[in-house]
């Protein structure tokens, strides 16, 4: 996914590790969030 330079700097990729309750396996959930919301 390619974002414009202005847009790309406003967003960060956040990767959460999520454990599945069904299988017990770990999966990675990637989110694009505004930098304002990243703490």
Q: What is the pLDDT along the chain (39 residues), one digit of tens a residue?
A: 555 555 556 667 788 888 889 999 988 888 877 777 666
Instruction: Quote the domain boundaries for residue 17.
Output: 5-37
Given a contact cutoff of 8 angstroms between Cβ atoms, the answer to whether 18 and 29 are in contact is yes
Would you state the pLDDT for residue 34? 78
Count other C-beta atoms under 10 Å from residue 11's C-beta: 16
Would you state the pLDDT for residue 13? 77
Q: What are residue 16's DSSP bridge partners?
A: 29
Q: What is the pTM (predicted TM-score) of this model? A: 0.35
Count structural domains, the chain: 1
Q: What are residue 19's DSSP bridge partners?
A: 26
- Rounded to an integer, what is the distance from CA 22 to the centroid of its chain? 22
Would you state the pLDDT for residue 23? 93
Sign of the C-alpha dihedral, residues 30, 16, 29, 39?
A: negative
């Amino acid at each position: 996914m390619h974002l414009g330079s202005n847009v790309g700097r406003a967003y960060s990729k956040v990767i959460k590790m999520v454990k599945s309750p069904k299988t017990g396996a770990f999966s990675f959930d990637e989110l694009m969030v505004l930098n304002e919301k990243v703490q």
